[in-house]
Chains A and B, each alone.
Chain A
Amino acid sequence: MTVKRKPYILLCIIAVLAALLGIPRLFSMDYYLHIFVMSEIYAVLALSLSLLVGFTGQVSMGHAAFYGMGAYASAILSLRLGLSFWVTFWMAGLLVGTVAYLIGRLVLRLRGHVLAITTAFFCVLVTVVMNNWIPVTNGPMGITGVPSPSPFSLFGVHAVIETRAQYYYLGLLFVACVVYFLWRIESSRIGDAMIAVRENEELAKSIGIDTMKSKVLAFTISGALAGLAGAFYAHYIHFISPVTFTINESINILVMVIFGGMSTLFGPILGAVCLTILPEFLRMAGELRLVIYGIALIVFIIWMPMGIWGTIQRILLPKGPEKTQG
């Protein structure tokens, strides 16, 4: 990057930041703000999945299971034990992270399509439990009345999280923290190991990298973050039911990651935002909405399998000299 471009980049960043902070002013309608908050939740889900899929190269179709477990955990803990969101949020993350760790140790010996299908099964299993373990989860009827985050005092200012705009800012903070967290991981030695596993697992093992440890770590972190997103979701919508956390949702999130670009930091965010906002336009189509979604997915896979961000990167990055086969 030449010196000339630095201030330009900085300006772009400031502009984006200003835009992000100003969104509740520009789009004050509840409906629009809701879409933005959901985009934030999906951004976290997509980012966490991309750590596993894009960075470490392990295909998982079970992400919605962790999302759902986090939602249920936080909801149940806050309702049954009367704890505040600020506590149950972290408890949910810890709980789901532990489950993810255990499942990961079990399942990550598998590779490729077998892993994908097994994680898909796991997701279905969790859905079945959610639907049938009535005493705990209330079955298909779901859990209502999940409380908002309780008011708190920060620097002497009394703050409440009630309006959508307030949730939006909280969500923004959430996404920012996740981005920072993932950025630190991905540029560390842990991240290097994960990339090595993605590129060539056998080779990585022969160099001495504990590939299982890297994979399990990625799986645990991505699962825990999904659990946190679930907790946020539960206390935002105030109602959860099994129908939100099916394998369809897992695949939605996977599509966001692939659409936006798998192994970058901003690709998943781009994918999450696009694929949360665009379907809203499709609401006009009514019942055929999902049909259009399906067809769009087909067309997309055939035409642009590298993802939007990946395709953009390919265009922006200069091509190397044409190699002749060595």
Chain B
Amino acid sequence: MFLKVDNLTAHYGRVKALDNVSMEAPKGSIVSLIGANGAGKSSFMMCLSGVLRPTSGTIEFDGQRIESAWPEQIVSLGLSQCPEGRRVWPKMTVLENLEMGAFSVREPRVVGERLERAFSLFPILKERQWQLAGSLSGGEQQMLAIARALMAGPKLLMLDEPSLGLAPIIVEKVMEVIKDIRAAGTTVILVEQNAFMALSIADHAYVLETGKVVLSGKASELLQNDDVRKSYLGI
């Protein structure tokens, strides 16, 4: 198992955000996490990235225990997150945003290669590379955020709500990009409120409710699941 999370519990102050969450992600797969607002999806991602320290439980990534690691250590190990709301640095240029994404990379040659790859994946970024990130449209910022996360050369990429606030045509493009990323060998964890998108693209999926995993299985099966269809697909 490439990523194995065991009984993860996390708190924000006195509020319990995650309650004994367990999940797995095989190498090369796309795993989706769906759930309503505040179900704990982002908290889960932040725990994995080392920004939120869990109260208990373990996280094993590529054979290493990372639940008490520093965020930059986790990025160096090959786990990168594209956070919710894009969170690009508005007063820095597109190029600078990408450069900072590769902060953990020592060799300039590798950074240059990854930059080229980012530009070929998202040509619009190459066009706007000298522009301030804050002046880009929502869709362009999302591409920048994904590209930035890729600059770290991750073995596992996490995406938190990449479709939020985007026009459907851009969402399609993002989904294509995610499939390409997986095809290139990167494992993907996708958190989405847009359950349909999340389930149609994933291999496996988990449903989170108030910090707990309530349902899990093959994504295709969950798509047919009555409860899921009622609660998350609006059918």
Contacts and interface: CB of A to CB of B under 8 A. Distances in A.
Same complex: yes
A325 B9 CA distance: 12
A323 B12 CA distance: 10
B47 to A, nearest CB: 13
B16 interface: yes
A326 interface: yes
B17 interface: yes
- Residue with the greatest number of chain B CB neighbours at <10 A, chosen from A319, A323, A324, A326: A324
A322 interface: yes
A326 B210 contact: yes
A322 B38 contact: no
Interface in B5-49: 12, 14-17, 19, 38, 40, 43
Contacts of A319: 14
A324 B19 contact: yes
B211 interface: yes
Interface string B159-176: 000000000000000000
B225 to A, nearest CB: 23
A325 B17 contact: yes
B14 A323 contact: yes
A326 B14 contact: no
A324 B17 CA distance: 6
Contacts of B38: 325-326
A268 B19 CA distance: 40
From DSSP, what is the main secondary structure of chain B's interface residues? mixed
Nearest to B10: A325
A313 to B, nearest CB: 15
Contacts of A322: 14, 16
Contacts of A323: 14-16
B40 A325 contact: yes
Contacts of A325: 12, 15-17, 38, 40, 43, 210-211
Contacts of B19: 324
Nearest to A323: B15
Interface in A288-326: 319, 322-326
Nearest to B13: A323
Nearest to A319: B14
A305 to B, nearest CB: 13
A318 to B, nearest CB: 13
B19 to A, nearest CB: 6
B230 to A, nearest CB: 20
A74 B12 CA distance: 52
B58 to A, nearest CB: 21
A325 B38 CA distance: 6
B43 to A, nearest CB: 7
A323 B19 CA distance: 11
Contacts of A326: 38, 210
Nearest to B36: A326
B17 to A, nearest CB: 5
A324 B35 CA distance: 15
Contacts of B210: 324-326
A260 to B, nearest CB: 23
A315 to B, nearest CB: 14
Nearest to B16: A324
A324 B15 CA distance: 6
A323 B14 CA distance: 7
Interface in B178-204: none
A266 B15 CA distance: 29
A111 B16 CA distance: 32
B208 to A, nearest CB: 11
Contacts of B12: 325
Interface in B142-172: none
Interface string B39-64: 01001000000000000000000000
Interface of A: 319, 322-326
6 contacts: A323-B15, A324-B17, A324-B19, A325-B17, A325-B38, A325-B210
Instruction: Report the 4 A-B pairs with minimum CB-CB distance, sorted nearest first.
Output: A325-B17, A324-B210, A324-B16, A323-B15
Interface of B: 12, 14-17, 19, 38, 40, 43, 210-211
Given A325-B12, A325-B15, A325-B40, 12 more contacts: A322-B14, A323-B14, A323-B15, A323-B16, A324-B15, A324-B211, A325-B16, A325-B17, A325-B210, A325-B211, A326-B38, A326-B210
